[in-house]
Chains A and B, each alone.
Chain A
């Protein structure tokens, strides 16, 4: 079993809709959690860290469920510019593990 797993998608979502992704991690010793965004043929960039109490940044909300070992990302009122691949990232000690990403296409 992979240490970090994501649904690869693609998720095809109409503009203005709400979309949610989950990411599961297998090691309960995982300490920090992040969502990165990667545009086509570009480098990954941090979208948001995921705090234990959950956190929100504009249209984006991240949640952590330690009991079930998953994190989630919710995007409200989706924009065409949200089309990208979303990478789930987990830190365990000095090891940083990337998921393979979930592709999102926002449809006009």
Chain B
């Protein structure tokens, strides 16, 4: 089955700096890679996703890159703000199958003013 590893587990950055979170996956059939943000006590919410036919996607201060050959994908947050503080989860799925997500263990991001 699919296995997703996520690093680092915690990340502290100064406001305005960039944050990068990396994930690797094992199942070459995975073709959909979402990133979820979960604030304390709240539900996970999708912030960006990428499909396997695309190498990079950007949405304002957030970008995701995918390297299918190496089976890894990364989340980049630029110009970090205190409201970016949260736990971020990467996931991988095979949408042609049941579409279940295999999540990484999460990264606690703390943005200090």
Q: Do A and B bind each other?
A: no
> Hey, which bits of chain B sit against chain A, CB under 8 A?
none
